[in-house]
Amino acid sequence: MPAPDSPSRWSRRAPAIARWLHLYISFASCALVLFFSITGLTLNHPDWFSSTPTESSASGSLNPAWLTPPDERVARLEIAEFLRHQHHLSGTVADFRLDDEVCSLSFKGPASSADISIQRASGSYEINTSSMGLVALLNDLHKGRDTPKSWSLVIDASAILLILVSLSGIILVLWMKRRRSSAFFLAAIATILSIIAATLATR
């Protein structure tokens, strides 16, 4: 049975492991870090990247039996999927409202929306769509606004990768005797400045 690693052997292997983790996790997450860094700037300076929304409208008709069925159960799924495919709508159904004469629903996606009003008696509808452009799309992806669960998992994965990059960097610095003091001094200064800035921003 092999003897367990001695402290001296572990102290020799730890920097190599930390360096390997820091290097490859950094490369694996570089596209995500770049994306969230750029969109951080676009979010912080909306006046630099302002754009006029693109709006359009359309009309049509659908099966009125979906709106006035004998059992009084409105075919919500059929209505939503018909409109999605007929007008190439993206996003999810954010609202579905009914009254005696009109049915209304909305599709919400990153930087886009579609509002539909349907006459229950005839099945005729009007649809108004709005798109805010590429920068607004990237900003909404950064915030996770009106995005599917799959993108939420990407945001979580990005956060975990950044945590691992930071921790592996700290561990790596611990074994760099010549630069350890200066590195932690700079980290302490940056932390203090960040706290001061946050304190001033909340006053």
β-strands 102-109, 112-119: how paired? antiparallel
The answer to whether residues 128 and 118 touch, using CB atoms and an 8 Å cutoff, is: no
pLDDT for position 59? 94
pLDDT for position 124? 95
Q: b/e per residue, 88-100, with b = 16+ CB within 10 A?
A: ebebebeeeeeee
Question: For residue range 157-175, what is the model confidence (pLDDT) as tens digits?
Answer: 999 988 888 888 888 887 7
CATH topology of domain 54-132: Double Stranded RNA Binding Domain (3.30.160)
pLDDT for position 7? 54
Q: What residue ranges do the domains of the chain occupy?
A: 7-49+136-198, 54-132
The answer to whether residues 135 and 51 touch, using CB atoms and an 8 Å cutoff, is: yes
pLDDT category, 136, cuts 50, 70, 90?
very high
Residue 72's region, left for phi above 0, alpha for psi from -120 to 50, else beta, is: left
Query: Does position 3 have pLDDT exceeding 70, yes or no?
Result: no
How many whole angstroms separate alpha carbon 33 and alpha carbon 166? 12
Burial bucket for residue 13 (CB in 10 Å: 0-12, 13-18, 19+): exposed
pLDDT category, 105, cuts 50, 70, 90?
very high
Query: Does position 121 have pLDDT exceeding 70, yes or no?
Result: yes
Q: pLDDT > 70: what percent of the chain? A: 92
Query: Does position 80 have pLDDT exceeding 90, yes or no?
Result: yes
Query: Does position 72 have pLDDT exceeding 70, yes or no?
Result: no
pLDDT for position 70? 59
Distances (CA, A) of 169 to 94, 107, 129, 177: 42, 43, 47, 14
> Which has the higher per-residue pLDDT, 115 or 5?
115
Query: Taking residues 53-81, what's their average pLDDT?
Result: 86
How many whole angstroms separate alpha carbon 174 and alpha carbon 111? 44
